[in-house]
A = this chain, B = another copy of it.
């Protein structure tokens, strides 16, 4: 199939579908009509999009953990715990890494080992292996809406099974679940697999079942400049909307500088709406999510709480619709349910103390918003140009050309020429602009900011700064200053 940003025909979709459902035995459990009927019976308060829309309206910030273990009962116990003891508003099922790479027999092995050893040997919930029935058992056992969170380049079967399984939101996208999550998967491929996911979601939507879709905002989670991740989010929103998706949550991973982070959320909301409108997608509900710091965490739990709470404050001050919550175990390993709930409670406390406060749109904030808007538009417009007006085609070419470039990405289809670093107040800027399509003005702005940092630190702007910045938060700083006496 030739990639272009065009709604798939019934034929195209159902032909592919037949193949997909055969890739693992549980695929046979999915009956689309039955699944839609099943989804229709799910009450409003357990539907992701309804809860998000309400939060957008009331300007509240919802909290959501990450969580997933190998076995169904343990997974249910975990989610219930996060709901009751953590006060989670929205629930996840984080999928294990084998499933993410469609290695279902490795996942089966992991399930067996987990049973044998009496502890989860997988880093997530193997949704495909547990099948529609297993998924329904999970979604029926909790009171809140549940989302599939993963990192799967080809999530077609996973999406079929989990939507039939009662999940009401599905994370990911053709860029955001490829570039940070794979080494060898061509961009065309994931753009197509994710069109399938979006088309499937669109089908549910057309038949009266609203399913939320969420591009994965943080990408590699490590010093990603806001305009890069925002451009990716807008592209994935456009791709989804074309396939009939009507409820999108665009995301951003906290970088650490208050003004820049709040600006990024504002810009993200504005740009997504601007481009959806521009391409005539008029009835798509947009909400936002801020991810608490996604890079390396401090090992000490008290310090981890510091990072978690600061992220919560930023989410509240930016009035993000939801915040994805880290745990005090982040640096060490998949958290216990207690640690996970503790992260949630700390977050909830901060969020609700700041419920009635917002960072006002004054000069500095507006300036950063404007910068991010300009950069994002530059990336998007060049991408469209490269695709002769087609955003899907343009995206593939933009990655080839380094017009979109994600730092520290494992994918060989990512140029990896751009290098980010923090400026003297911790905002993430471009140290090496690579092939990003920025005006001289924008480039000068960034270089100027980094020169300022260099002279404040008495050293040349160099890769060592980047290395220092990568370790900084885990060592208790934001800007990675050179070691001194």
Which residues of A does B touch, CB under 8 Å? 256-259, 298, 300-303, 305-310, 312-313, 317, 341-350, 352-357, 360, 362-364, 424-426, 473, 476-479
Contacts and interface: CB of A to CB of B under 8 A. Distances in A.
Given A362-B362, A363-B362, A478-B356, A350 B424 contact: no
A350 B310 contact: yes
Contact of A306 (B258, B350, B364): B350
Nearest to A356: B425
B302 A356 contact: no
A256 B353 contact: yes
Contact of A353 (B343, B345, B347, B477): B477
A349 B258 contact: no
B298 A356 contact: no
A475 to B, nearest CB: 9
Q: How many copies does the complex hold?
A: 2
Contacts of A364: 360, 362
A362 B365 CA distance: 10
Given A342-B302, A343-B302, A307 B357 contact: no
Given A356-B426, A357-B478, 12 more contacts: A258-B357, A302-B341, A302-B342, A305-B346, A306-B348, A310-B313, A348-B476, A352-B477, A353-B473, A356-B424, A360-B364, A362-B364
A307 B362 contact: no
A345 B303 CA distance: 6
What 4 A-B pairs have minimum CB-CB distances, sorted nearest first? A306-B349, A309-B309, A362-B362, A302-B342
Nearest to A256: B353
A353 B311 CA distance: 11
B349 A298 contact: yes
A357 B298 CA distance: 20
A349 B346 CA distance: 15
A311 to B, nearest CB: 10
A346 B258 contact: no
A348 B306 CA distance: 8
Nearest to A363: B362
Nearest to A342: B302
A328 to B, nearest CB: 8
